Structure formats: structure tokens, C-alpha cells
Structure 1
């Protein structure tokens, strides 16, 4: 029987396949915390990576943002070959790791300035294959601000990646904010129709904006979408992608409890609190809000050598 992710050691994560990881998340009953980190920038602690810092404050899963699979960088770790960076981060942190890839839609109406991203960050099958070979446990198809990612492009990318890698790697899809799309802003970021299309295309986990982050996104609305996702057999991840990971502790705790009330399986905190990471105390405060000090301190204290 697969352990709850709450109870897993680093040695458990190493042995898990995709289905075991999904079961482990589901068995934790809404107490899994995902922290987004950027390795391209100078880390907060200079010679300690942001990934290690997030792990130290209680994150269960580390999600690499703005990570180029062609030119991988993680500042603050011992020098290793580029192809070994992900494996080295897994060794140093003892955590499950994921990567954001971005399915850009060049044919949609956009909102605000659109940013061109490097080829190694795009949501392509080739990039997903490279990510899997590097050691990533999950691929998240989503969009950073102003990149022009659309739900239609996510579905197209998901189908292609799922057909090739669907049995090997966890596939998470959805947007944390409009990501530059004019028509997919506010409550139009995601609908039941989108969720059904995501699930039919092979999504394992549906990403939804956390209540109180995107204008018009309420706890009641996300609660309805979480239930719908569960009815279709998918897990859910509520996400803070609006720089509120840099808000005060009270705001973080309020968002955390609203996400818990939606029934979500996983909680995400973004990387824009400080440079490439949430305010570290907010990672811990979020963790304590959804699972208490016992589980938070256990995750922090558990040796990666177990």
C-alpha cells in the first residue's frame, strides 16, 4: 500500500511510479504543498538554491518555473553537468520535482504586453521528453504573465505529450491567471467545459486559481470546479500565481483555508514573494494553516537520508 505523501521519506519518492505518486497525493486529503521556485536568478541565500530554501520551510513538491530544458540553470548548487541539475536537486532536497512548460498560442487576442519566451520553456513534446529524462516527476502546462498561453493551446500540447508520456509522468494543466489572454481572464480562466476537455486530453491534475487571487475567483466558484474535477476522476491543485505569495501572513492563511474549503488535493504557492521564491515564512504559514505544526515540522525535520 502506497504511503500518504505526508508520511513519505526521500527513499519513498525515489521508488514511486506515476500512479503511486497520484495515490500518495490523494491519500493525504488536501495536505500537500507545492512551492514554485526559479533557479535562473540569484537565490535569496546566495550559495543555497531557492529549491533547498523552499524545502527547508516545508514544501513537499518543488515546481521549477522559467526552467529552460535546453539551457538548464539552478543557481546556488554545487557545479554539475547540465543534464544532472534536476537529479542533483532531488538528491539535495529529497523532494518530488515538477516543471512548468508553456503552450503559447500565437493566434489568440492578447491582453497587455506579450513576452517571448525561449524555445526550451515551451509546452512541446520534445521539451517534455527532455524534462522526463532529466528526472522531473511532473509536467505542469501553464503560463507565466504575458506569455500568451491559452486553454486551447494547453489541450493541444497535452494531447501530444500525453500520448507519448502519459503513463510515465504526472500531467497537470491549467492557468493561475490570464497569462496574456484577453478572453481567458477573471472567471473565464477556467470553466467546466475546459476541465472536461483537459481530462479527456489526458490531464491527471487540474490547476485552478486559488480563491481570492484572481478577480472574480471566489471560494464557491472554485469549490464547484473542484467537485466537478473529482467527479471526472482528476485531482486538483489550487494556485497562488498573483504575487500574493509576497503578501502578509494573515492573507496567506486566509487563502490557504479558502483553498482547503474548496476540497482541493494540492496547494501551490508561487515564486514572486522575493527573488524566485515565496517569502519563506509564508511557505511555512501556508503549511501550518492546512495541516498544522506537527506535519509541517515533520516535513522540515525529516532527514533526506531516510
Structure 2
């Protein structure tokens, strides 16, 4: 697989093992953008899905959040396979790690739901700061998923206190994750460039993809703020950047995403991604 920057629809249509996708992301030298789409949110404009809109503004990968794995319904289209066909991008699915692994939740991270997601190109294990959702619980879920797939697995563990210690992020990679999300500089309390850079370096040192995430509702901030966060993330050495879904209508603010893209990779790569036909 060539670097993500050079991939087009026919490249994204091919199955990619974790090792191939990781290499394609790292080879892009900090110029890959992923954006989340809330499956249950009505599209901002009824004529297109939110995913299509984000792609039109320059994102490379899409991460579907809050999807019922049994129905695979995404507002504005038929299902996950249809969503991929409409956008021509790599599509990941976020599954929430719950404190009780035995709960029969169609959106939770478990093997039953994983078996239904063969159309997904990669997975994200999302863990919020809730009672019982500990590091060990996340690692237990990660080990189970890793044993069943060779696709890329990301971990997004959030903490009310801000950032975790660098070695905790690195541990997820040592336990089987291919990449880890870390709050972008200034996106949560105490997220200084120094701390974020140390966390990213720890993940990368053990072979993982270091991802900064803008997911504290600042994905709906003004363009200048987003641009500053973008440049700070790149200075910290991130391999990839993630936008959360709280910008507008269950997705990032498309204009904020465009500003971010222009800041980290300039006009050439931004406009080519925006303009490239799905027939390529």
C-alpha cells in the first residue's frame, strides 16, 4: 500500500492488513486526517451524508461512532458498505469498551459485534472515564479483538484528569494496538505541547501510530484556534490527526477540518484530496 496521501478510491477499496496501513500512515509524515461521524445524527444537508461532506473538505479516513453493529445503520445511507461506496475512503468503526463485558450492547466492544463488522477497514476501541472502565479492562478487550483480526486497531482512552502517563499509552501498543489517540495540545486540561510530545514519542518508540485527537468539542471551534492546534500537533510529532463528532450535526465542522488540513499539509495535498474523483 502506498502512503495515504497518494491513495485514491481504488487503493482504499482493497483490504489492508494492520502492518500495511500503519506503514502507509507513517510514510505520510504527519499529514493524515481522520474524522468521526456519529451514526445516529441526521446529515447537516439531506442531499449528502456527513461522511461525504467531510471527504469533500479533505479528510482521508472516516471513523463511524455510536453505530448499532447489528443494523449498521448510518443516517443518510443504507449501511456501512453503502457508506464506504459513497465516500470512497477507508472506514473504521468505533466500539465502546464497557465495564461489564457481558452486557448485550450492539455498540459495545465485544467479539459478537466484531464478527458483524467485516465491512470495516479498521477498528477503534473507545473507552470513556467511567467507573470500571480501567486500563486493565481496555487491555482485556484489546487482547480479545487482536486475537480475531489482522486489521488495524486503535485505542482511544479518555481521562477526566486530562492526559495519562506516556507509558500507559505505550502499553496499549505493547498489548496489541496499532495506534493510540492522545488529546491534542490545548484540547484538554494540562495538554501542553511538552506532555503531548512525550506521550506520542512513547507510542512511536514501541512501533505504534501516534494520533492527536481534537475531541473535546473544539472540533467546532473557530478556524484560527483549530489552525493553532493543528500546528502544535504537528510540532509534537503526530503521525495522524483525529477530529471528533461534536463540531456540528454529528461531525467536525467541515471548515475547521479544511483549516486544519491547510495548516498541516498545505494547498496541494488538501485540494487534491478534495478534488480526486471516486473513479480514480
Normalised by the length of structure 2, the TM-score is: 0.93
Superposition deviation, residue 148 in structure 1 = 6.6
* Structure 1 contact 142–149 (Cα < 8 Å) conserved: no
Q: Secondary structure at the match of 2:41?
A: coil
1:268 counterpart = 2:211: no
Out of 116, 122, 142, the residue aligned to residue 108 of structure 2 is 122
Q: Alpha-carbon deviation of 1:246?
A: 0.8
User: Structure 1 residues 32, 147: closer, same or farther in 2, change over 3 A?
Assistant: farther
Shift of 1:221: 0.5
Q: 1-side partners of 2:70 and 2:61: how far apart?
A: 23
Structure 1 residue 68: deviation in Å? 1.3
Looking at secondary structure, tell me which structure has more helix per residue: 1
Structure 1 position 204 matched with structure 2 position 178: yes
Query: Which whole-Å deviations, capped at 9, do the CAs of 1:84-114 have from their partners, x for residues lacking one?
Result: x11111111110011111112259xxxxxxx
Aligned to 1:29: 29
Tell me if structure 2 keeps the 8 A contact 1:68–1:118.
Answer: no
Q: CA RMSD in A?
A: 1.9
* Alignment match, 1:171: 153
Q: Displacement, 1:293? A: 1.1
Q: Is the 8 A contact 1:46 1:76 kept in 2?
A: yes
Match of 1:104 in 2: 98
Partner deviation per Cα, 1:191-215 (whole Å, 9 max, x = no partner): 2332242122101111111111110
Partner Cα distance (1:147, 1:92) in 2: 38
Q: Any stretches of 5+ residues in structure 2 without a counterpart?
A: none
What TM-score comes out, normalization by structure 1 length?
0.86
Contact 1:43 1:275 in 2 (8 A): yes
- Residue 215 of structure 1 pairs with residue 174 of structure 2: no
Q: Judging changes above 3 Å, is the alpha-carbon distance between structure 1 residues 226 and 140 closer, same or farther for their aligned structure 2 residues?
A: same
Q: Distance in 2 between matches of 1:105 and 1:217?
A: 26
Give, in angstroms, the shift of residue 14 of structure 1: 1.6
- Which blocks of at least 5 consecutive residues in structure 1 are unaligned? 108-116, 179-183
Shift of 1:149: 3.8
Other-structure match for 2:207: 233
For the pair 1:185 / 2:161, whether they are aligned, the reply is yes
Taking the aligned partners of 1:137 and 1:69, their CA distance within structure 2 comes to: 14
Aligned partner of 1:161 in structure 2 is: 145
Q: 1:145 to 1:296 in 2, by over 3 A?
A: farther
